[in-house]
Structure 1
């Protein structure tokens, strides 16, 4: 009897090729496309932008029909707004910089996928992510995708053991150029040339400040302008409101100090943004909360040596992690720049994901 797989499809090349491979491997595939947010009309180019456009959903549906499997569109706009968008806004209002893709993967995508898979009696769920799943004596964890430039494990560290044991990543052992070639060889030339979307799905213009102003105008107005200060408290300028700034930001400050100035700290309580030099951004360690462990069920008291990524495109810094009640304490062997509360820290042993969590506080 064929194993049934519920495949998350965006209409893009990765999830589409994942569907082709699963079908060829003998799985019975059922496609599903999320509608998480209403796409917006770009007045300059007169078409919808973002990942949740009607066009992208229809592309996923048409591809499913060509490959001979069922497809449905799942309307998740309400739950997406109540969880992902609310968390995004709340984090900025707390003076932190959120990572919505991480929260969406664990809370929305996998949560809804597993639930729908159960309703359809699917054995597995699948996506087009570049990652691999390792099963070591019944313990499931992620390993980086073979294509280092496309690896997406940084965004997937929040998946649970139950999530991982039900998940297939057909593209984890392939490189992007091979994926494009495979699509073309199967007659999907236009798909093989399709460009990828890089922006946050619900902010296709990449202007999060505009988004915050539109989403919570009264709160943004109430926060109002505040002070740019130096470490000694000296006021050196006026800013537009602390939610509009992120750690490490240099451009758009409108302050002349005689040297390159960077945002080095944000105090939501006093609506102050601290400026400093590039060296002032260096951090020796930090505390991580909302921890999800993958490779091991606990971190030993003496700590564990890992490579620590604090951003997606970050090569990582070697250090040690230690249990700290429900949190983890991170000691870096070498200082890292612009460690940002609200962002994710993900821990690796070579290609294996040990786990990860949200950066709560930084030690300089």
Structure 2
């Protein structure tokens, strides 16, 4: 038994989680590799001709071979039920409600840092670990576990980790926090890992062809026939065309509208109740204020009364922008940006920071056009 304890490492079969597992083994932890089977193409409606990514047979075999080569056990755990209930059902439901979800946030919160943590504790482990690029530390002044940017700002993944609880953070190791991606690949080569030069996947894992429309049509029988032909209206109410079904559009979208109004227009609003897509000029996408729900705070038990200055971002690759965060009755929050943001999208995450420290986040419920 290792003095450092036992850690279950989530192994996707990619280079990051592979290096994380071997690093912890080298540091003296008792490592258990765990690959989570979260979906399959037959059940989720994915493209069976393109089985790649974290749940493919190739990725599972890569993770297993690394575990065997480096002398630690490896398990494949079936989380398809949890993933279907928490991630896929939400994904479909959000699009049907006219919102644009971020399934990676839910997968991290509900599956990787919930289901996997429960399984790890059942195995008698002390910790879980992943190959995410972020840093965890305990702030003695706050008496809180804090999540911060790691060394590689280009690979920072804190935006998709805002939903993790204090209990889960206290049991999590992130061994790549002090490394850059090139350094991780170099370590993989030094460790002799077959994943050293494995390419990264950027599409949603259960939609490998990145065709959201196909996926929604397969999950909701008759969707296209039922919603196709709804009106595309201007902000003033004029009908300027017809759409293929409101779930196939998102705020800020320009391509695929198939309308001609003599000037560039974008989706500014989606109205599920009337099957309407509203379009307007770029100026109509500017928003200085939003309301968020499902708030999780990392830096505090709750958002300080009276509000607090933060830097907020509304997309993964977005920049952090100065804003005021104010708690609302019922557990929600209002975020007011100093400068307007473009295409604030309900269903996406808004995440707040202080410098490199992640303070918390929530799901955008409503955006207020200027």
- Report the TM-score when normalising by structure 2: 0.95
Does the alignment pair 1:86 with 2:67? no
* Cα distance in 2 for residues equivalent to 1:120 and 1:50: 26
Distance 2:37 2:48 in 1: 19
Aligned residue number for residue 17 of structure 2: 15
Correspondence for 2:182:
177
Decide whether the 8 Å contact of 1:212 with 1:220 is kept in 2. Answer: no
Residue equivalent to 2:73: 70
- Worse overlay, 169-178 or 34-43: 34-43
Question: C-alpha separation between the residues in 2 aligned to 1:38 and 1:331?
Answer: 41
| 1:153 aligned residue | 158
- Give the Cα separation in 2 of the matches to 1:80 and 1:142: 24
The answer as to whether partners of 2:294 and 2:332 remain within 8 angstroms in 1 is: yes
How many matched pairs?
A: 360
Which of 318, 330, 338 is equivalent to 1:333?
338
Cα RMSD of the aligned pairs, angstroms, is 1.2
- Does the Cα contact within 8 Å between 1:50 and 1:203 map onto a contact in 2? no
Q: Distance in 1 between matches of 2:307 and 2:85?
A: 37
- What pairs with 1:1-364 in structure 2 (closer than 5 Å)? 1-2=1-2, 3-39=5-41, 43=49, 48-137=51-140, 138-188=143-193, 190-325=194-329, 326-364=331-369
SS of corresponding position for 1:122? coil
Could you tell me which runs of 5 or more consecutive residues in structure 2 were left unpaired when the two chains were aligned.
none
Measured after TM superposition, the shift of residue 220 of structure 1 is 4.3
CA distance in 1 between counterparts of 2:37 and 2:29 reads 25
Query: Residue 134 of structure 1: CA displacement?
Result: 1.9
- TM-score (structure 1 length as normaliser): 0.96
Paired residues of 2:136 and 2:169 also in contact (CA < 8 A): yes
Comparing 89-98 with 75-84, greater Cα deviation is found at 75-84
Q: SS of the residue aligned with 2:188? A: helix
**Is the Cα–Cα contact under 8 Å of residues 52 and 58 in structure 2 kept in the other structure?**
no
Residues of 1 paired with 2:52 and 2:191: CA distance?
Answer: 28
Q: For the residues of structure 1 that align with 2:27 and 2:70, how far apart are their CA atoms?
A: 13
- The 4+ residue runs of structure 1 with deviation greater than 6 A are none
